[in-house]
Amino acid sequence: MPRGDKSKYTDKQKRKAEHIEQSYEARGVPEQEAEARAWATVNKQSGGGERPGGSGRGKSATAKRADRKDSADRAAQARQGHSPNRGSARGRAGARSTSLSDMTRDELIAKAREKDIRGRSKMRKAELIEALGR
Q: Which of 19, 61, 57 is nearest to 41 (CA)?
A: 19
- Phi, psi values for residue 101, rounded to 5°: -70, -20
Q: What is the pLDDT of residues 27-84, one digit of tens each?
A: 999 999 999 999 888 887 777 776 666 655 566 767 767 777 777 788 888 888 777 6
Other CB atoms within 10 A of residue 108 CB: 23
pTM score, whole prediction:
0.43
The full length of the chain comes to 134
The radius of gyration computed from the CA coordinates of the chain, to the nearest angstrom, equals 24
Q: What is the pLDDT of residues 88-128, one digit of tens each?
A: 544 455 555 568 888 899 999 999 999 999 999 999 999 99
